[in-house]
Amino acid sequence: MSERFAAGKVALITGSSRGIGRSLALSLAAKGASLVVNFKRSEELAAAVVAAAEEAGGRAIAVQADMEVPEEIDRLFDAAAAEFGRLDYYVGNAAASSFKLIPDLKLHHLDRSYAMNVRAFVLGAQRAVELMDRGGRIVTLSSYGSIRAYPTYANLGAAKAAVEAWVRYMAIEFAPLGINVNAVNGGIIESDSSAYFYDVEGMPSLDTVLPKVPKARMGTVKEVADTVEFLLEPRSEYITGQSLVVDGGLSIIAPPFFDDATGPLRLPEPGDGEDAGAASDA
271 vs 125, which has greater pLDDT? Answer: 125
What pLDDT is stored for residue 198 in this prediction?
82
pLDDT over 70 at 96, yes or no: yes
Residue 4's φ and ψ, nearest 5 degrees, are -120, 35
In which order are the strands placed within the sheet that holds 59-64? 59-64, 34-39, 10-13, 89-92, 136-143, 179-186, 243-246
pLDDT over 50 at 220, yes or no: yes
Q: Where are the alpha helices (DSSP H) in the chain?
A: 19-30, 43-55, 70-84, 107-113, 120-131, 154-174, 192-197, 206-209, 221-232
The whole-model pTM stands at 0.91
pLDDT over 90 at 277, yes or no: no
What pLDDT is stored for residue 268 in this prediction?
77
Residue 153 among the catalytic residues: yes
What pLDDT is stored for residue 282 in this prediction?
39
> Of the listed 153, 169, 198, 215, which one is catalytic?
153
pLDDT over 80 at 234, yes or no: yes
266 vs 255, which has greater pLDDT? Answer: 255
Residue 169 among the catalytic residues: no
**60 pairs with which residues across the strands?**
35
pLDDT over 80 at 275, yes or no: no
pLDDT band at 273 (very low <50, low <70, confident <90, very high): low
What pLDDT is stored for residue 225 in this prediction?
97
What pLDDT is stored for residue 279 in this prediction?
46
What confidence tens digit (pLDDT) does each residue in 158-180 have?
999 999 999 999 999 999 999 99
What pLDDT is stored for residue 272 in this prediction?
64
Query: Ramachandran region of residue 277, left (φ > 0), alpha (ψ -120 to 50) or beta?
Result: left
Nearest to 200 by CA among 111, 104, 115, 68: 104
**Amino acid letter, 63:** V
Nearest to 162 by CA among 98, 226, 115: 115
> Of the listed 160, 196, 198, 238, which one is catalytic?
160
Q: Say how far apart CA 184 and CA 1 lie, in whole Å.
A: 20
